[in-house]
């Protein structure tokens, strides 16, 4: 497999150096692997910190900036960052109003963020944590106890980030983040496996003519494998899986997320099918976001995330945001 890299061992620091060069509005600590908005800490504002393995870009470093995260901690590819990174990030963004950790439900992330929260508290930083566990594909899977954290992470970071930007206190930002997670569900599909720089070959075997329904963002197995389906058939299956668990009963935010190797031409066609299915189910779509936001390196495929949206969630979703990976209204 050909890759635009130097050597596998330097992929993450090389990418961080490139991020620093491209985004002077960020402070990128390549040595300690922490990405911070340059104006942090913002006086009177709750700090938002997230992180996880690299390979899911723009998650999380690409979501650092006004209206979203204050800092992110990238680990090695598909590997959790370490507690020292998280504590350093918390200290960099704490204005005295506390810090919220946004944690995807993967065992390494959960353990390390829990340890970091204890260490940060020892340093006098008030920390709250929210666990994102929106994936309805499986209850337990590789690297996870319970549902996996996937596309809803973007909804949590955007909506909680907007509330923090308005000056909401830590208790309110935490409660809102929890509520967004509780009313969000995701389901993903893989058409081809991804390739990690260290391995240099596909991370799992997916024969030609087959797809994986419910795949995880590290290539964890989903519900089943089937012969290749049309875009419309995949939309029917994915939306049914989400709505069986979510029961929206009102307007929703929709994220049609590319896994990293699927062109926008295909994602927009898939979005049309998802809208068709939601229309047939009587589910109004308030907002739609399409693109590669929570990726899995070069995996071909997509995921569908729905968030039940009330007036407050819609208002905070529409609030200005300016990050490398998401920006509007500013």
Contacts of 22 (CB under 8 A, 6+ apart): 324
**What integer is the mean pLDDT of 167-188?**
98
- Give the Cα separation of 255 and 186 in Å (integer): 9
Query: Confidence band (pLDDT; 50, 70, 90) for 235?
Result: very high
Contacts of 86 (CB under 8 A, 6+ apart): 49, 51, 73, 101, 112, 113, 116, 120
Of 56-70, 84-98, 138-152, which gets the smallest average pLDDT? 138-152
Q: How many CB atoms lie within 10 A of CB 66?
A: 19
**Given a cut of 90, is residue 41 above it in pLDDT?**
yes
**Given a cut of 90, is residue 77 above it in pLDDT?**
yes
Contacts of 138 (CB under 8 A, 6+ apart): 147, 148, 214, 216, 220, 221, 222, 223
User: Residue 143 has what pLDDT?
Assistant: 67
Contacts of 291 (CB under 8 A, 6+ apart): 257, 258, 264, 267
- Give the Cα separation of 173 and 14 in Å (integer): 34
User: Residue 225 has what pLDDT?
Assistant: 94
Looking only at the bridges linking them, the beta strands covering 71-77 and 47-54 are parallel
CA dihedral for 103, 247, 188, 297, sign (positive or negative): negative
Looking only at the bridges linking them, the beta strands covering 300-308 and 184-192 are antiparallel
Per the DSSP assignment, residues forming a β-bridge with 322 are: 66, 327
User: Residue 139 has what pLDDT?
Assistant: 76
**Given a cut of 80, is residue 144 above it in pLDDT?**
no
Catalytic residues: 56, 218
Q: How many CB atoms lie within 10 A of CB 140?
A: 10
Q: How confident is the model over 109-136, as pLDDT tens digits?
A: 999 999 999 999 999 999 999 999 999 9
User: Residue 237 has what pLDDT?
Assistant: 97
Q: Give the chain's mean pLDDT.
A: 96
Q: How confident is the model over 12-21, as pLDDT tens digits?
A: 999 999 999 9
Q: How confident is the model over 283-311, as pLDDT tens digits?
A: 999 999 999 999 999 999 999 999 999 99
User: Residue 142 has what pLDDT?
Assistant: 67
Q: How confident is the model over 240-259, as pLDDT tens digits?
A: 999 999 987 899 999 999 99
**What integer is the mean pLDDT of 212-232?**
92
**Given a cut of 80, is residue 3 above it in pLDDT?**
yes
- Give the Cα separation of 134 and 24 in Å (integer): 33
**Given a cut of 80, is residue 10 above it in pLDDT?**
yes
Question: Which tops the pLDDT comparison, 203 or 164?
Answer: 164
Give the CA distances from residue 319 to residues 160, 168, 314, 327, in Å, rounded to whole numbers and listed in that order: 11, 14, 9, 10
């Amino acid at each position: 497999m050909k890759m635009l890299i130097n050597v596998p061992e330097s992929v993450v620091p090389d990418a961080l150096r490139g991020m620093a060069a491209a985004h002077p509005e960020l402070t990128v600590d390549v040595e300690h692997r922490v990405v911070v908005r340059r104006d942090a800490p913002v006086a009177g504002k709750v700090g938002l910190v997230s992180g996880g393995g690299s390979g899911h870009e723009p998650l999380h470093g690409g979501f650092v900036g006004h209206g979203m995260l204050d800092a992110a901690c990238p680990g090695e590819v598909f590997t959790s960052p370490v507690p020292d990174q998280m504590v350093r990030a918390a200290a960099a963004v704490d204005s005295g109003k506390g810090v919220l950790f946004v944690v995807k439900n993967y065992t390494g992330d959960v353990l390390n963020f829990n340890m970091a929260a204890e260490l940060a508290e020892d340093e006098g930083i008030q920390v709250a944590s929210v666990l994102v566990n929106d994936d309805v594909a499986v209850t337990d899977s590789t690297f996870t106890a319970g549902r996996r954290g996937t596309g809803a992470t973007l909804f949590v970071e955007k909506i909680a980030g907007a509330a923090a930007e308005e000056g909401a206190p830590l208790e309110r930002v935490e409660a809102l983040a929890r509520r967004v997670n509780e009313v969000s569900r995701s389901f993903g599909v893989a058409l081809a496996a991804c390739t990690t720089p260290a391995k240099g070959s596909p991370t799992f075997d997916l024969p030609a003519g087959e797809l994986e329904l419910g795949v995880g963002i590290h290539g964890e197995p989903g519900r089943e494998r089937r012969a290749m389906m049309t875009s419309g058939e995949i939309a029917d299956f994915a939306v049914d899986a989400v709505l069986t668990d979510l029961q929206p009963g009102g307007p929703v935010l929709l994220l049609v997320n590319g896994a990293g190797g699927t062109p926008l031409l295909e994602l927009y066609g898939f979005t049309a099918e998802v809208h068709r299915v939601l229309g047939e189910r009587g589910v109004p779509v308030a907002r739609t976001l399409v693109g590669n936001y929570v990726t899995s390196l070069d995996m071909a495929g997509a995921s569908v995330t729905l968030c039940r949206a009330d007036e407050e969630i819609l208002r905070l979703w529409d609030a200005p945001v300016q990050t490398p990976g998401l920006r509007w209204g500013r």
